[in-house]
């Protein structure tokens, strides 16, 4: 069983559905598993350090 937390683009309500229960706007997946901007940044830094 896998659950994805989604967040409304419009009112930032968290939901498990594709549509926000509050306003009906499409809700994006809030935290894709194993892929976050922070991980990407850390990987980028490591690469920079290797090249120097």
Interface residue list for Zn ion (CB under 5 A): 8, 10-11, 13, 20, 22-23, 25
Smallest gap from Cβ 45 to Zn ion, in A, equals 35
Nearer to Zn ion, 11 or 46 (CB): 11
CB of residue 14 vs Zn ion: minimum separation in angstroms? Answer: 10
How many other CB atoms are found less than 10 A from the CB of residue 7?
Answer: 15
11 vs 16, which CB is nearer to Zn ion? 11
Which DSSP string corresponds to the chain? -----EEETTT--EESSSB-TTT--BEEESS-TT--HHHHHHHHHHHHHHH-
């Amino acid at each position: 069983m896998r659950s994805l937390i989604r967040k409304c683009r419009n009112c930032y309500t968290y939901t498990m559905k594709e549509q926000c229960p509050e306003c009906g706007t499409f809700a994006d997946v809030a935290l894709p598993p194993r892929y976050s901007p922070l991980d990407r940044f850390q990987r980028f830094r490591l690469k920079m350090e290797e090249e120097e």
